[in-house]
Structure 1
Amino acid sequence: MAKPKLWTKEFLSISFASFFIFLIFYMLTVTLPIYITDELHGSGKNIGIIIPIFVVSAIIFRPFSGIWLDTIGQKKTLFIGVVIFLMGAFLYFPAKSMALMLIVRVIHGIGFGMATTATGAIAAHIIPKERRGEGMGYYATFMNLAMVIGPFLGLTIIGASGYETLFVFSAIFSVLAVVCTLMLKLPQPNRHKAVEDSMKKTIRLSDFFEGKTLPIALVAFALSFVYSGVLSFISVYARELNLVTAASFFFVIYAAFLLISRPFTGRWFDAYGENFVIYPCIILFGLGVWVLSQVSSSFMLLLAGALIGMGFGTLVSCFQTIAVHSSPASRKGIATATFFVVFDSGFAAGSFVLGIIATYTGYSAIFTIGSIIVLFSLGLYYLLHGRKAKGIMNNIESSI
């Protein structure tokens, strides 16, 4: 029997929309601290407020976005999100003070939270059930590519042309995200029923969060807590070790090995169950973080990038697939929002906590601690999801 088609116009449109949104996110995450210091004459304290406020704004609006996805519709929610995101991109031009920059980051973060919640839910919705693991893996690859291209492109632009050009490119990519959104054709929800249902009941916490998604989201929290240390401190750690040149290729190697493994891991997820992929990937991620703590050469730094790419890069798409699949069909938008609220919170908490620890212990120590947390996450995954998950034997038995 032929497999259902994966690479449809809708799948490509939502994947490229996600790519452009995350491309801007990574471009600005790397370059704005330099802009705040050089152009706005800000301090480290200013950077510590203006950069995280973007993620905090996104976290706050994700639960509302989940409700809107299941009521007013997926495309409309995404369109509103990308338009707000586009507005935020244009507002960087006149933001010449700390106060204005803070307001811009809040607006931009709201658009990011709405748009990325919507893209994840739409991708899970349009991918054929039989190819969900494979499809979500490819969808996540677009985000991974943005993570590699964004920092490189951002630093290249400000080095060659300056910050105004950076903001021009940010606006252009935002427009492209809007164009990709307009190309989507998605079914509309039953609005009358949605309004009727909302009038019949009082607002409850369950309207904003999907409880069935929380177990796998908590595992993702622990792992994103560790990965935030890799993303935030790899450049300064490499500078300490005189490996700055190698560090510039860290995420290139990360993406290369993720792309090499993606076709296999996605198919294995669908064929043999999540445990067959997730347990080895957690081990690879932990091993990569431990190698990072022991780095003494360029080869070891790049080896860590390869292991982390195959491990953490694969886990993100697997966890998102599980989060959506574990929820009722009518609550997939809320499930996506719940997953990313917890996942993003791990990043925010990790950057803050590990940054404090690094002040007293050094960067090598936080990666050692991180590898221990990843090892602990093996047991956490087993307790919260793995022991109940469908494994290879279940698939073999069901096929007999």
Structure 2
Amino acid sequence: MKPPEEKSRSSPLKIRGFPALNAAFLCLFTNVSLMYLYPLALEKLYVSPAQIGIVMGVFSMAAVAVRPFLGLLIQRTGEGSVIFPGLALATAAGLCYPFLDAFGPLMITVRVLHGVGFSAFIAGGFSIAARSIPSKNQGEAFSFIGAAITGAVAFAPPAGEALIRAAGFDALYIAAVSALPAAASFCRAAIRNASLTPPVPAPAAEVYRIVLAAGSFLPLLVVTWCFSHSQSTVLNFLALAAEQAGSSGGKFFFLCFFTALITLLTAGRTGDRLPKVYLLRVFLPIMALSVAGIPRLIGSPYWPLPALAFGISLGMLFPVLNAMAAGVTPVYAAASMAVFTAVYDGGFITGPVLSGWMAESTTLPAAFTSAAFIVGAAFFVTLAAFRKPNP
């Protein structure tokens, strides 16, 4: 008979409902990743680059703006009451894309509704993970979720490009929207099979007061924003850095995401065995060095060094941060994960904006350097704020 400790370390894939939840994340991010190609369609409609930025940006802005309200609603009524209407809303928005033929209020409205629907799934999906996975398995569980997301981000856009070449943009829209009913089906199975404690209703002000007052939560949010801001800077400006260096961004993306995927699939249990704060203190500096090195090494024979370092740090930091957020206030997991994911997504808004301003005001390498300093500052936050090994 296995001892209790060994049982607690069994794979999260054996936990009822978790494989279905992981499949739902894969489907949702397949939808989102296919729509990363939407700027190609907008260009064909003669939408200006500035307007393309607005169209793509309002998706994330809407998702972040509604996340805390969705978290509170989940806390009161449960995940299903938010996830399924959200996926229905995203599906309705997805069906509108073939009929959008010009930049304007209708296009912006569709993107906002799509973002709100996406946000509903994120709020509910991460709440299910936080409430159904035992704390000793959460690091590995969030690694699997990260692997599903990374797999979709890595493979959906190339598949979408092939669809566009073969059958046009309508085929892309059909493929993207088809992933959403599949996500709903997997979510239904996850909720039906998972062992979820009943939500604890409480006044909104009280819930978020408790969550934000948790000793380690605010510093964790700062670290999370630093991480996602720097990650977003790399994802948005890597291609430009490669072009300026006369190199290929594609090979960097492939090696980086492949490394992150392998790390997520193989090293997730490390976050459950070792103190999570120590892992932050190891991999935040590695990420900072990799970000600073990208524009300086991407055109040299040493380009794999920042690609490998960035991929490994992504694969280690994503599940650790999620597991720490899930454990801050387990009773109010829906609210805490809603705030956490909103801050994480907020970094994907500030990354391109602030780093773009820095690149325009100075140079592109300076933008990468500033992002490296920001994620490096997160290391010092962990030294100052997290006194215990596992906050």
TM over 0.5: yes
User: Aligned partners of 2:374, 2:62: CA distance in 1, in Å?
Assistant: 27
- Asked whether 1:306 is paired with 2:308, we answer yes
Please report how far the alpha carbon of residue 190 of structure 1 lies from its aligned counterpart in structure 2 after TM superposition.
Answer: 5.3
| Partner in structure 2 of residue 132 of structure 1 | 138
Q: CA deviation at 1:232?
A: 0.7
Partner in structure 1 of residue 189 of structure 2:
183
What does the per-residue CA deviation read over 1:329-370, in whole Å, with 9 as the maximum and x for residues that have no partner? 321000001001111112211211111111232322211222
State whether residues 281 and 314 of structure 1, in contact with CA within 8 Å, keep that contact through their aligned partners in structure 2.
yes
> Would you say the 8 A contact 1:66–1:208 is kept in 2?
no
Letter in 2 for 1:241: A
* 1:351 is the counterpart of 2:348: no
Give, in whole Å, the separation in 1 of the partners of 2:298 and 2:176. 37
CA–CA separation in structure 1 for the residues paired with 2:119 and 2:161:
24
SS of structure 2 residue aligned to 1:15: helix
**Residue 397 of structure 1 aligns with which residue?**
none
State the AA in 2 paired with 1:380. V
Question: Is residue 126 of structure 2 the alignment partner of residue 120 of structure 1?
Answer: yes
| Distance change >3 Å, CA 363–CA 153, structure 1 → 2 | farther
Query: Equivalent pairs: percent with the same residue?
Result: 22
TM-score (norm 1): 0.88
Distance in 1 between the 2:108 and 2:337 partners? Answer: 27
Mapping of residues 357-396 of structure 1, within 5 Å? 357-385=358-386, 387-390=387-390
Taking a change above 3 Å as real, the CA distance of residues 205 and 22 of structure 1, as seen in their structure-2 partners, is farther
Aligned length: 378
Deviation at 1:26, TM superposition (A): 2.2
Q: Which moved more, 1:13-22 or 1:362-371?
A: 362-371
Is 1:15 the counterpart of 2:22 in the alignment?
yes
Question: Contact between 1:71 and 1:189, CA under 8 Å: does it hold in 2?
Answer: no
User: Contact 1:144–1:313 at 8 Å: present in 2 too?
Assistant: no
The runs of 5 or more residues in structure 1 that have no matched partner are: 392-400
Cα 1:51/1:351, change in 2 over 3 Å: same
Out of 290, 293, 296, the residue aligned to residue 288 of structure 1 is 290
TM alignment of 1:62-81, pairs within 5 A: 62-81=67-86
Amino acid of the structure 2 residue aligned with 1:315? L
Q: What's the counterpart of residue 31 of structure 2?
A: 24
SS at match of 2:297: coil
Q: Which amino acid aligns with 1:22?
A: F
**1:111 aligned partner, one-letter code:** G
Rate the CA distance shift 1:252–1:209 in 2: closer, same or farther, 3 A. Answer: farther
Matched residue type, 1:368: T
1:153/1:214 CA distance change after superposition, 3 Å? farther
1:394 — aligned with what?
A: none
Q: Which amino acid aligns with 2:389?
A: A
**Taking structure 1 as reference, are residues 140 and 91 closer, same or farther at Cα in structure 2, changes over 3 Å only?**
same
**Aligned CA-pair RMSD:** 2.3
TM-score, normalised with respect to structure 2: 0.89
Q: Aligned ranges for residues 149-298 of structure 1 at < 5 Å?
A: 149-184=155-190, 185=192, 186=194, 194=201, 197-198=202-203, 203-204=204-205, 206-207=207-208, 210-211=211-212, 212=214, 213-244=217-248, 247-262=249-264, 265-297=267-299
Which whole-Å deviations, capped at 9, do the CAs of 1:204-234 have from their partners, x for residues lacking one? Answer: 2754883033220111111211111111111
Residue 56 of structure 1: how far off its partner (Å): 0.7
Structure 2 Cα separation of the partners of residues 157 and 209 of structure 1? 48
Q: Is the 8 A contact 2:277 2:382 kept in 1?
A: no
